[in-house]
C-alpha cells in the first residue's frame, strides 16, 4: 500500500467509528464523561511551559557530532528549570513536531525520522518523545502534545543551515493548501475535508502511542488556515475540526480508562479570534475545548472579554513568547515579567504559559550548546505562576507596541492593533491610552511609589508636554534628553522579532525620557487612563514627535 492510499484508508477507518459518525456534523453540546469533568474541576496549574526543544536538540548535536551525545545529558538539561527548588512549573506541553518534511518520532503516518541524533537514539532503543513524556509524568507534571496546525517546510543541512523545501503532500493535494503572502508553499487549509481527516489520523496516532494528558491545537503556528478575507464566514470548518478532535479524544480516553483534555491556542482578544475564524464561543457552547491558551507574543491579553464569551468551564491561560517577544521588550528584566504575568492573573487568568524561553539554567545551556537565556527566566519560573509570590515586589507595566512579526496573514501574533508607537499632534488632542496595573495602591504601612515613564523620539529641548494619569495632572520629575533604548530603532522600521536578540545601543541615539510621579490617589488597580499632550512645540519643527513607550514602574519598600 503506498503512502497516499494508507492515509486515505486510515482516515476513512477512523471516521467510520459510530461516535464520530453520529456527531460529526452535530452542533449540539457534547456530554462529557464524569471523570473528564472531575479532572477539569480539580485542574489547578500555575505555569504551563510550551516547550519547543528542537533547537536545543540541534545545538546538542552540533556540539557532539562525534556521537558522544547521550540522551540522559540532554534530558537533564531540558528539565533543569523544572527540577530547581521552588519551581512553579506544573505542566510541560511538548512542542516538538518539527517540519512536516520529517517526523520526530517513529510514525506510521508522517515521513520518517531524519534527524541524525534522533536516528542515533532510536538505534540505541531511545524514543525521545516517549522518554520526555515519561519523565514529565514521573515528575507528576501534566503533559500535553502541542500540535502546530500549519508548520513551515524547512530542513536542516549538514552544516546547520536551514533550507526551504516543498511538502509532497501539498503537491499531491493542492486543495489542502491556502495561499499565504509570506510563505510560497502556502499554509494548511482547514476547509479541506481531506486535510482535517489526515490531521486526525496524526493526532490519534500520538495519543494512542504516548501516555499524554491532552493535546493542544496551536493556531499561532501559522495563519492563515482559512482563505484570507473569508475567515469568519468559513469558521464552521475550524469548529468542525475541533469537534472531530474532541470526539476522537473521548473515544481514546474511553478505551484507555483516563480522560484526554483538549486545548487550543488562539489570539489574545475576541476580535482577533473572530478575524482569524476561531469561533471560541461556539467551541465553549458545544463543550469542544477545556483550555484556551491566549495569545503568544502579547502582554496585553483581554482575559475578561474572552471569559465573557466562553464562561467559566473553559480555563484561560495567557502565553508569553520571549523569543518572538512583544516589540521592544525582548528579554526584559524580572520586574517586567512580574508586571506581565501579574496583570494576567488580575484580569482573571486560571494559569499562565511560557513559550520560547531559555532551554534551561545557564549551566545546562552550556552543556547542550544552547544560548544562555536572561537571568529573568530563571527567577520568573519561581514567581510568576502565583500572584502571592509576586505581591509586594517591584514591577513595571507597559503598553503594547506594534510590529515585529511578518509571518502571518491575519491577526494572530502580529500585534497590529497595538497603540504604540504613535505620533503626537502639535497642539492637537491628547493621545490617550489604557494601562493595566495589577497592584492596588498599598496599605499605609507599606512604602511604595508609582512612576509613569514616557519615551519619545524627535523631540526638542523647547518642547513642553502635559501628562495626566486618570485625569490628574502629573509633574515631570526627570527629563533625560540623552536616553537610549537598544530595542527602539526609529527612524528605521522595527526589525522582525527573533534571532539572537543581541541588540546594540546606538551611541548617536537621542530619545527623551520623561518620568512623572503618580500620586497614590490617582493610582487604581486594573485599568488606568494615561494622556499625553504637547502643550508647547519648538518653532519651525517639521518632524512629528513620536511616542515610543509608556510604562508604569512600581517600587516597594517597608516604611
Cβ-Cβ contacts under 8 Å for 81 (sequence gap 6 or more): 49, 87, 89, 358, 360, 361, 377, 378, 381
What are the cell numbers at 409? 496573514
pTM here? Answer: 0.93
What's the grid cell of residue 254?
474511553
Helix (H/G/I), strand (E/B), else coil: 75: helix
Name the CATH architecture for the domain at 422-558.
Answer: Sandwich (2.60)
Q: At what angle do helices 128-138 and 71-78 cross, to 10 degrees?
A: 50
Q: Would you report the helix, strand and coil content of the chain in percent, each value rounded to 5?
A: 30, 25, 45
Collapsed DSSP state (helix, strand, coil) of residue 175: helix
Instruction: Provide the CATH topology of domain 3-150+192-390.
Output: TIM Barrel (3.20.20)
User: What phi, psi does 144 have (nearest 5°)?
Assistant: -120, 160
In the block, cell 482547514 appears at 190
CA distance 280 to 269: 11
Question: For residue 520, with 0-12 CB atoms within 10 Å meaning exposed, 13-18 middle and 19 or more buried, which class applies?
Answer: exposed
Distance of alpha carbon 327 from alpha carbon 415, whole angstroms: 9
Per-residue pLDDT of the chain (559 residues; tens, 9 = 90+): 333 332 333 333 334 444 444 444 578 999 999 999 999 999 999 999 999 999 899 999 999 888 889 999 999 999 999 999 999 999 999 999 877 788 999 999 999 998 999 999 999 999 999 999 999 999 999 999 999 999 998 766 555 566 778 889 999 999 999 999 999 999 999 999 999 999 999 999 999 999 999 999 999 999 999 999 999 999 999 999 999 999 999 999 999 999 999 999 999 999 999 999 999 999 999 999 999 999 999 999 999 999 999 999 999 999 999 999 999 999 999 999 999 999 999 999 999 999 999 999 999 999 999 999 999 999 999 999 999 999 999 999 999 999 899 999 999 999 999 999 999 987 778 999 999 999 999 877 778 999 999 999 999 999 999 999 999 999 999 999 999 999 999 999 889 999 887 899 999 999 999 999 999 999 999 999 999 999 998 787 778 999 999 999 999 985 4
Domain map of the chain by residue range? Answer: 3-150+192-390, 422-558
Asked if the domains 3-150+192-390 and 422-558 are classified in one and the same CATH topology, the answer is no
Neighbours of 227 (CB within 10 A): 15
Amino acid at each position: 500500500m503506498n503512502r497516499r492510499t494508507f492515509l486515505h484508508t486510515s482516515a476513512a477507518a477512523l471516521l467510520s467509528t459510530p461516535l464520530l459518525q453520529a456527531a460529526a456534523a452535530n452542533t449540539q453540546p457534547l456530554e462529557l464523561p464524569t471523570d473528564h469533568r472531575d479532572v477539569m474541576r480539580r485542574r489547578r496549574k500555575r505555569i504551563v511551559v510550551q516547550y519547543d526543544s528542537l533547537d536545543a536538540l540541534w545545538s546538542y548535536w552540533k556540539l557532539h557530532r562525534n556521537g558522544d551525545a547521550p540522551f540522559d545529558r540532554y534530558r537533564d538539561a531540558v528539565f533543569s528549570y523544572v527540577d530547581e527548588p521552588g519551581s512553579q512549573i506544573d505542566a510541560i506541553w511538548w512542542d516538538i513536531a518539527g517540519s512536516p518534511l520529517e517526523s520526530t518520532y517513529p510514525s506510521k503516518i508522517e515521513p520518517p525520522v531524519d534527524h541524525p541524533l534522533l536516528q542515533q537514539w532510536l538505534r540505541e532503543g531511545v524514543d525521545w518523545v516517549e522518554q520526555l513524556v515519561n519523565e514529565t509524568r514521573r515528575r507528576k507534571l501534566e503533559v500535553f502534545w502541542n500540535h502546530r496546525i500549519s508548520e513551515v517546510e524547512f530542513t536542516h543541512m549538514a552544516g546547520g543551515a536551514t533550507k526551504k523545501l516543498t511538502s509532497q503532500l501539498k503537491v499531491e493535494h493542492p486543495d489542502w493548501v491556502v495561499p499565504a503572502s509570506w510563505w510560497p508553499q502556502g499554509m494548511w487549509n482547514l476547509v479541506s475535508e481531506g486535510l482535517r481527516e489526515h490531521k486526525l489520523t496524526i493526532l490519534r496516532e500520538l495519543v494512542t502511542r504516548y501516555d499524554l494528558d491532552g493535546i493542544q491545537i496551536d493556531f499561532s503556528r501559522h495563519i492563515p488556515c482559512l482563505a484570507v478575507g473569508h475567515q469568519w464566514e468559513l469558521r464552521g470548518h475550524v469548529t468542525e475540526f475541533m469537534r472531530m478532535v474532541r470526539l476522537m479524544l473521548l473515544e481514546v480516553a474511553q478505551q484507555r480508562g483516563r480522560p484526554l483534555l483538549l486545548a487550543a491556542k488562539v489570539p489574545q482578544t475576541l476580535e482577533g479570534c473572530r478575524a482569524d475564524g476561531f469561533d471560541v464561543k461556539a467551541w465553549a457552547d458545544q463543550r469542544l475545548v477545556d483550555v484556551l491558551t491566549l495569545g503568544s507574543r502579547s502582554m496585553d491579553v483581554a482575559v475578561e472579554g474572552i471569559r465573557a464569551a466562553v464562561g467559566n468551564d473553559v480555563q484561560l491561560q495567557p502565553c508569553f513568547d520571549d523569543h518572538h517577544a512583544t516589540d521592544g521588550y525582548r528579554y526584559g528584566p524580572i520586574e517586567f515579567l512580574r508586571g506581565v504575568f501579574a496583570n494576567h492573573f488580575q484580569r482573571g487568568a486560571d494559569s499562565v504559559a511560557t513559550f520560547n524561553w531559555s532551554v534551561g539554567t545557564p549551566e545546562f545551556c552550556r552543556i547542550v550548546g544552547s544560548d544562555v537565556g536572561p537571568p529573568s527566566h530563571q527567577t520568573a519560573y519561581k514567581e510568576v505562576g502565583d500572584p502571592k509570590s509576586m505581591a509586594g515586589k517591584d514591577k513595571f507595566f507597559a503598553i503594547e507596541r506594534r510590529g515585529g512579526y511578518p509571518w502571518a496573514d491575519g491577526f494572530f501574533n502580529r500585534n497590529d492593533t497595538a497603540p504604540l508607537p504613535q505620533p503626537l499632534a502639535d497642539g492637537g488632542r491628547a493621545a490617550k491610552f489604557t494601562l493595566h496595573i495589577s497592584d492596588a495602591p498599598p496599605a499605609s504601612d507599606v512604602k511604595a511609589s508609582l512612576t509613569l515613564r514616557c519615551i519619545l523620539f524627535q523631540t526638542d529641548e523647547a518642547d513642553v508636554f502635559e501628562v495626566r494619569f486618570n485625569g490628574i495632572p502629573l509633574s515631570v520629575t526627570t527629563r533625560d534628553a540623552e536616553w537610549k533604548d537598544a530595542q527602539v530603532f526609529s527612524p528605521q522600521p522595527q526589525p522582525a522579532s527573533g534571532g539572537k536578540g543581541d541588540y546594540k545601543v546606538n551611541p548617536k541615539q537621542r530619545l527623551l525620557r520623561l518620568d512623572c510621579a503618580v500620586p497614590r490617589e490617582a493610582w487604581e488597580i486594573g485599568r488606568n487612563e494615561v494622556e499625553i499632550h504637547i502643550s508647547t512645540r519648538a518653532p519651525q519643527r517639521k518632524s512629528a514627535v513620536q511616542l515610543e513607550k509608556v510604562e508604569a514602574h512600581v517600587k516597594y519598600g517597608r516604611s
